Amino acid sequence: MRFRFWEASFSVYPNTDTLTNGRLIYEYIINNLLPLWRKCCHCSKWRQIPIQSSYGLGLIKNEFVCSSISRRVSCDDLEDLRVAAVPQNFLQNKFNPHFSGLLLKSPLTFLCFKYPPLLLGIAPPELLIDEDFDQSSEFLKRFVEFRVPFSEPRDEHCLPGVWNPISCFRWETTTYPNLMQYGRLYQAVRNTIIYLWNSNKFDMITAEKVATFIFIRGLIRIIIVDEWLPNLISHFTDRCLINVGRCIEPNQAGEEIDHRYVIVGPIDLKSTAVYRQIINSLEVRGMNERSSVLYSTLPKLPPTPEFSSSSFTEQLMVPISIFDFPISNHVVSPINNYAMIFAKQMNLPTKPQELPVLFQRGADGTVRIYPDHLEKSRSLVDRLFYSTIRAYQLEESPESNSIQGLLDARFAALILELDTPMELPVDLRLIEYCYACIEERLTELILSSQDKVCPKTPFLDDLSPLDFSSYLQSKGPSFYRYVLKILSNHYAPQEFIEPGAFSSITRGLGPNMEVGNTVHSIIATPALFTLVSNDTELHKTESVVVTIPTSRIKLIFCDSPTEEALKSHQEEQKSEKLQIFLPHNFRVSMPARYEVENPTPVCSPSSNILVYMSVTLMYEEPWWRPLLYTAGTWEKMNICYQSIDLDEVPFEFSEAPKFFAFVPKSRKDRGLCHYFKDISPPDSSCGIIQTCIIGSNLRNDWANNDIDCANLVDKQLKHTLATNARRTGILLEYYVKRLYAPTSVNDANSTPEVEIRSANQDLLDKTRAVGVNIGSSDGVHLIDSEFVIKEEWWRMLSEQASIHLLPELATMCGLTKPIQNELFALDVLSREVLTGLKWSKYVLGKLMSNEKSHGNFLSTDSVCEELITFEVNQEPENKASNGAGIESPQKRSLSPLLEVEVASKCWRGDEVSTK
């Protein structure tokens, strides 16, 4: 009777008509009648559960001990001999299981109507309840709101980070060739791991936790739990696909340490991400208890844009410098974004980013602008920009050398199409404000890009349309369409409610204790040792990761690195540089192993161009709040607009808005105080307001002087809002920060200091390489080859001495495909997170490459492709044909107004397809 119910339940799924009765019986016997094996949580021995006791001691019970079977069974009893024979027989293919793994009470039941359950690793239906199927339409609630881990069949609009449940990706086939002959079983185990990572609070995923969800009977369970799960989880962790961020707290360093890892770098997001990922990788391997990961830094490191000394107000003691760049306090594309995982682990709340409330100054004072007017202007400007930068239009010779000139020409032609200028449905000042919004998004695009071919200016009047189109096309058609939608305000970013998310995430990832100047010297003999401050003991170290600029590194080549390091340490030579002591045989001339072509910039090269400025002002009180409240009332709007259409009247304020902006008077004022944010404390003990300056205003002389910038912003705010100086507050303090393109905080190409110490005077020439005297007691000698510190030498130092430095990280990581397609991380926070994980992936590949467990489990020649690809909404063929028809020559050329209308239809078509 039970089998008949099982067979009937299975028949409701698609693709089950190909299963014969014999196959169903075979599946039923394997999944229900084979003995169940469980591992004791005390002695770690495998025990066979009798069939009559398997129901009570099933997998649902988390804790299992040997005595659970019967009183006569104890942990001292010998393990079954079959357990030791299973792994060898499995590797020699002496038996071949052709059944799927089973995920107990799987939340993936919503996919059963589209995928065969055997391929999904779904448990037999009799183990499920009707509620699981009734709630299948609400499957998204099972995952965090910004996680979409699984795609549906033939999903053409795949988001970044989405797994196809039944597809074995190319890198999986290359990495696990021994497992691909058990494709269904591998897919079920892999889907279980991915589900558990995305469904919990992003805590550590271990083999023991996953094993409780794998409903597999028979001796094959021993292979799954002891071999597959530990290695799969370890490899996924090293690739930064799971177990990223603050999954577990690091152990305090004890007296007995078997493995010691050191990170020397600034307290920034990239370095702390590497620190955490090494800890996570050690934890999943069970090495964390006898391992130590030491985070060290150097004094007086160049400050990053997110970390600088705090400036306190003596009167109020409020650190206004924590309100840093608002541009780094949001995530453009939150779906499957690692930055959102980190924020979730730190309990940082987010909300959809809203548009600022817009005001303008008129003859009757400051008044709120109708949202409908702003929406019309924004829609027109977005369509103008989208149609102007489309690839087919830029193949022609543009009428202007800048995007702004091209937009002006098209907008002027659009006005000529109207019968009278009074028919223009938008205000020219609103048009300029919308242009500034595009420049703001261009600024973030430039700051978040580390590519040499990226445009160096976000100013529309300086940016060439051909150069910008070439930059977008160089990344591929998917990137081209994605960026155009981003620049056209076609996205829904998430904003952190509290300021300083960048700093909060970095502190959460970093060590609990305050980091000091701990590591003084690194010694390679070639065994690796580190020497810490206030200690003369050499500590054997497995690996060192250095993420400080190479200008803060001093390479010392000497006869005896250990003696020289101890001598320098005893003499208390206080150096602000990290000293690396190496033997002379590291002074080798390295041939170029990889020919890396430097791309030719498509835009004119430039340096130290100011592209973004953040100005924070502090007052005695938030004096602007009552003025903003009055400007948004119906009475004030009725006075200024003379008449009010009740259908267009926006909601009346219950309180003054905390995110607002003013319409620029003219183009020369565009980008000056682009928007304001009220970040005053809840108790209103003081008034703190922040604004940003973008665009061509940054070329003025006052942009280089902090006090001039602060006074200008103060004057602009008071002049726009107040008609009476007594209604404003007194400026107490200001804080100004700047971002440049390109931003070179950690310059990987700077030259380190080189020193030669030797009793042999012939070896003191540091411009020449050395050769080894084979069969001679002299050791080394100078040769005619030139000794130069370049990329190949850093790579050799990484391979031979396990010292991974920033230049080598930046170069080698640049040669590999980025994690989750780093091209599409179009905000500063996501870019920093992915860069740190990219470094982690490379470092962990070096650290764990010699692990014995990888020798038999993984492919020895594993050139892995990236797991996750992001194919941005490919246009269907019918759309392509329609587009071709639009672009074909016409008897009469389209007017700019019609071109904008056509582009609007195409743009809205993309929007509908995306939804």
Is residue 152, in this structure, part of any structural domain at all? yes
Is pLDDT above 60 for 876?
no
Is pLDDT above 50 for 166?
yes
Contacts of residue 8, defined as CB under 8 A and 6 or more positions apart, other chains included, come to none
- Which residue, 679, 348, 298, 284, is CA-closest to 508? 348
Which segment of 8-17, 142-151, 790-799 scores lowest on mean pLDDT?
A: 8-17
**How many CB atoms sit inside 10 A of residue 570's CB?**
9
Contacts of residue 745, defined as CB under 8 A and 6 or more positions apart, other chains included, come to 302, 303, 304, 305
- Two tokens, residue 130: 């009707």
Identify the bridge partners of residue 36 per DSSP, sorted by sequence position: 49
- The domain in which residue 227 lies consists of 2-33+80-238
704 or 101: which leads in pLDDT = 704
pLDDT one-digit tens code per residue, 487-537: 776 667 888 988 788 888 998 999 876 655 578 899 998 799 999 887 778
Domain count for the chain: 1
Q: Are 358 and 368 in contact (CB under 8 A)?
A: yes
pLDDT of 597 reads 39
* Cα 398 from Cα 418, distance rounded (Å): 24
* Cα 38 from Cα 35, distance rounded (Å): 10
Is pLDDT above 80 for 822?
no
pLDDT of 558 reads 94
Q: Rounded to the nearest 5°, which phi and psi values hold at 731?
A: -70, 120
Is residue 767, in this structure, part of any structural domain at all? no
Q: Report DSSP letters for 358-383, one per residue.
A: EEEEETTEEEEPPHHHHHHHHHHHHH
156 or 511: which leads in pLDDT = 511
Which segment of 218-222, 258-262, 811-815 scores lowest on mean pLDDT?
A: 811-815
Q: Are 431 and 411 in contact (CB under 8 A)?
A: yes
Is residue 452, in this structure, part of any structural domain at all? no
pLDDT of 354 reads 84
Is residue 22, in this structure, part of any structural domain at all? yes
> Cis omega (within 30 of 0) on the bond before 499?
no
Is pLDDT above 90 for 161?
no
* Cα 498 from Cα 717, distance rounded (Å): 23
Is residue 170, in this structure, part of any structural domain at all? yes
Pair type for strands 659-662 and 357-362 = parallel
Is residue 116, in this structure, part of any structural domain at all? yes
pLDDT of 810 reads 67
With pLDDT > 90 as the criterion, what percentage of the chain qualifies?
A: 19
Is residue 124, in this structure, part of any structural domain at all? yes
pLDDT of 827 reads 83
pLDDT one-digit tens code per residue, 736-787: 988 887 644 444 456 889 999 999 888 998 889 888 766 554 678 888 888 9
Q: Are 354 and 371 in contact (CB under 8 A)?
A: no
**How many CB atoms sit inside 10 A of residue 613's CB?**
21
- Two tokens, residue 850: 């010699």
- Which residue, 398, 354, 596, 667, is CA-closest to 493? 354
pLDDT of 672 reads 93
Rounded to an integer, the average pLDDT of 669-684 is: 88
pLDDT one-digit tens code per residue, 316-370: 334 565 566 677 788 888 888 899 999 999 999 999 888 899 988 876 678 888 7
Distances (CA, A) of 311 to 84, 321, 703, 737: 65, 6, 20, 12
Is pLDDT above 90 for 68?
no
| Mean of pLDDT over the chain | 74
Rounded to an integer, the average pLDDT of 699-703 is: 89
Is pLDDT above 60 for 562?
yes
pLDDT of 802 reads 92
Contacts of residue 789, defined as CB under 8 A and 6 or more positions apart, other chains included, come to 555, 751, 752, 754
Amino acid at 590: M
* Cα 160 from Cα 336, distance rounded (Å): 6
Q: Are 207 and 230 in contact (CB under 8 A)?
A: yes
pLDDT one-digit tens code per residue, 5-26: 555 655 554 444 434 444 555 4
- Which residue, 179, 243, 176, 240, is CA-closest to 209? 243
Q: Please list the alpha-helical segments (H only) found in 296-349.
A: 338-345
pLDDT of 879 reads 34
- Which pLDDT band, with edges at 50, 70 and 90, does 259 fall under? confident
Q: Are 601 and 453 in contact (CB under 8 A)?
A: yes
Amino acid at 794: W
Task: Fill in the DSSP letter of residue 738.
Answer: E
pLDDT of 195 reads 84
pLDDT one-digit tens code per residue, 85-123: 777 666 555 444 544 444 445 555 556 555 555 555 554
pLDDT of 629 reads 84
pLDDT of 313 reads 29
* Cα 381 from Cα 378, distance rounded (Å): 5
* Cα 86 from Cα 226, distance rounded (Å): 11
Is residue 101, in this structure, part of any structural domain at all? yes
Q: What share of the chain is helix, strand, coil (3-state, %, to 5)?
A: 40, 15, 45
Is pLDDT above 80 for 399?
no
- Which pLDDT band, with edges at 50, 70 and 90, does 619 fall under? very high
- 230-234-235-240 Cα dihedral, nearest 10 degrees: 140
pLDDT one-digit tens code per residue, 434-466: 999 999 988 888 887 766 677 878 899 988 888
Q: Are 248 and 201 in contact (CB under 8 A)?
A: no
pLDDT of 393 reads 53
- Two tokens, residue 497: 């409610």
